[in-house]
């Protein structure tokens, strides 16, 4: 069976990301960026670079949001981190749009995404998926393979990442807590609240979908 170039490129890219995620730790990059926090311009450049590199090393977006809170505080850190969440979703989104073809893998992924986003609506579906504690890049790639538009992904990302981002920025805004590099101090209550919010967003589409399935049966 002949493998086309795009499928081979996709497999190679996935393998590279897995290898990079195992070998690359965010500690060094975050330390370098944090050392520039006293000067807004170099810090902003370093933060942008980390957001652009992040999907290639599979770091959580909340880790970078903690850094944004450390450098900019809560008031400025939240919009900066939300913008960063959108920016960092662009490489995987555009990459999947280029790689996706009619092969079995992309077909199955696209079909699964079509059923989900077709039932929920594009913005609602992306927002609900982003609220759940699952890898952000998995949501982005599924949306891209399903034909969800870039504006819908951007708006859904902002809405879904909002509670995670606020919590991470608040953690990072305290210099004493930045070493945590995550949401350990927020923990289970935040996860439970985000899952509950996602359930509320999905309740109506799920009810309608089940109703149609019952009628069809």
Predicted pLDDT at 213: 53
Closest by alpha carbon to 156, among 195, 120, 209?
A: 120
Measured CA to CA, the distance from residue 207 to residue 217 in angstroms comes to 15
pTM: 0.78
The per-residue pLDDT for 25 is 62
Find all residues with CB under 8 Å of 142, minimum gap 6, and list them.
109, 112, 113, 116, 129
What percentage of residues in the chain have a pLDDT greater than 90?
A: 30
Q: Give 42's pLDDT tier (boundaries 50, 70, 90).
A: confident
Band (86; pLDDT cuts 50, 70, 90): very high
Residue 15 has a pLDDT of 47
- The per-residue pLDDT for range 8-20, each reduced to its tens digit, is 554 444 444 444 4
Q: How confident is the model at residue 180 (pLDDT cuts 50, 70, 90)?
A: very low
CB 63 within 8 A of CB 26: yes
């Amino acid at each position: 069976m002949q493998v086309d170039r795009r499928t081979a490129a996709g497999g190679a890219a996935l393998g590279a990301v897995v290898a990079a995620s195992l070998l690359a730790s965010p500690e060094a990059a975050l330390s370098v960026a944090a050392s520039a926090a006293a000067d807004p311009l170099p810090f902003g450049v370093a933060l942008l670079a980390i957001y652009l590199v992040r999907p290639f090393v599979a770091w959580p977006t909340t880790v970078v949001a903690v850094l944004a809170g450390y450098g900019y505080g809560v008031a400025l850190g939240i919009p900066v981190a939300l913008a960063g969440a959108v920016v960092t979703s662009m490489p995987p989104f555009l990459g999947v749009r280029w790689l996706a073809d009619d092969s079995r893998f992309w077909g199955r992924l696209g079909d699964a995404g079509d059923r989900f986003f077709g039932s929920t609506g594009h913005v609602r579906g992306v927002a609900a998926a982003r609220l759940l504690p699952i890898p952000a890049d998995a949501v982005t790639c599924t949306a891209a393979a399903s034909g969800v538009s870039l504006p819908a992904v951007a708006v859904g990302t902002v809405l879904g990442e909002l509670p995670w981002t606020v919590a991470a920025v608040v953690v990072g805004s305290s210099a004493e807590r930045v070493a945590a590099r995550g949401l350990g101090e927020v923990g289970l209550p935040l996860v439970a609240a985000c899952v509950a919010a996602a359930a509320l967003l999905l309740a109506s589409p799920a009810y309608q979908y089940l109703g149609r399935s019952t009628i069809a049966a």
